[in-house]
Homo-oligomer: A and B are copies of this chain.
């Protein structure tokens, strides 16, 4: 006999069983319903992209994390013998692989916009919910295949778009019942800071260092800045920025003071002021905090930067994004500004789980199971089962008239709340014994009464 292998899946990937799927669908459906109310339109792009589209877009490290697909057929036939002899994996890859799995939804979106520019209405408001793949080292909470859930407006400079994204964050988490804080920053302020302290070429270093403030503390940040070649005078000028206090408006005032001679800095401050004053009038319930330490890793943001954290669960950012001024430039369509955010479905899943916030209706599937004592009863059931379904109630007939205990245990295992027991007596009287599985209560009802009862319970 051939050895039979225990089946498994690639590391870093997951199966989603029925109970996980209903929860995941609840998350995606909720987010989608909000996106649609705001007029965003869904698109989907293929899982595979040409490597020429993907390579060089995520830095050197990102290129390594791309899953590459082996060309079909005799892929070695035209490969230079030297490459093979030298076992030069790095350079061989280009010769034997032309496609890769998408790494995020942002680059495919940029590619999509450029490719279909003539068919799209701008500003183009799109959302996209699809998996992405990264050959990262798998660990708790980090997967090699995971969903991203992106919403972007491209082709408009208006700050109304930033406001709209904040409204969407507010609405989504209100629907979930998750209390969140939205942190906001502006890349122009970061640039202004670099300019104002006399180190305009050091913006990235300053940004990276500020980003670590929470983790390593102010002394280490200052040390890192010095290591990066920042003058002591510049580091001193930076200190008020690292210890802002008060509410958002007060903080903006203190920053404005430091940046009084920086045009780009003042632009950033004005953008945030407009956003804050507009949001204020909308009376959103979400907490919004100006946070200069918010820089995010991605270096393509040019204006607003967002990050959302759950207030009642210790977990990283559950939503983030920002404005980018030239996303499509890499594909030859320049001068198009966009702004977008991405919802982290996996983390939202964990937050809802930990806070036990899934609505019962979202996790229930079949409401009624018909169980029978024989084939004649089964046949009698069929029309009744169909009637229950026609009333919009999810209903099953246990397919085999086997031992009652087995049928009941199926109902229990599936968390089906009601069971219709049908034996000879039921068939003769055209009455069904409806059993409430939680209470054990049982009542004899006509099929119409069963449907009415289930609609109200």
Give residues in A with beta carbon < 8 Å to B: 4-10, 13-18, 21-22, 24-25, 36-39, 41-50, 52-53, 64-65, 67-70, 72-77, 79, 81, 84-85, 87-90, 92-93, 96-99, 101, 111-112, 114-116, 119-123, 125-126, 131, 133, 135, 144-145, 153, 156-158, 160-161, 163-164, 167, 171, 278, 281-282, 331-332, 365-366, 369, 378-379, 382-383, 386, 389, 392-397, 399-400, 410, 413-414
Contacts and interface: CB of A to CB of B under 8 A. Distances in A.
25 contacts: A9-B45, A9-B111, A10-B48, A10-B49, A13-B47, A16-B44, A16-B45, A17-B116, A17-B119, A18-B126, A21-B43, A22-B42, A37-B395, A38-B389, A38-B394, A39-B414, A47-B47, A48-B133, A64-B72, A76-B88, A76-B89, A121-B414, A123-B410, A156-B399, A282-B386
Contact of A43 (B17, B38, B116, B392): B17
Given A39-B365, A43-B18, A8 B383 contact: no
For the complex of A and B, the 10 pairs showing the least CB-CB separation, nearest first, are A13-B46, A18-B41, A39-B396, A4-B332, A39-B366, A158-B399, A84-B84, A121-B413, A76-B87, A21-B42
Given A17-B116, A37-B395, 11 more contacts: A7-B331, A14-B46, A37-B392, A38-B396, A39-B369, A47-B101, A68-B70, A156-B400, A158-B399, A163-B382, A164-B397
Contact of A21 (B13, B44, B160): B44
A365 B331 CA distance: 29
Nearest to A114: B7
A88 to B, nearest CB: 7
A379 B281 contact: yes
A116 B15 contact: yes
A16 B47 CA distance: 12
B85 A115 contact: no
B399 A112 contact: no
A171 B161 CA distance: 43
Nearest to A86: B76
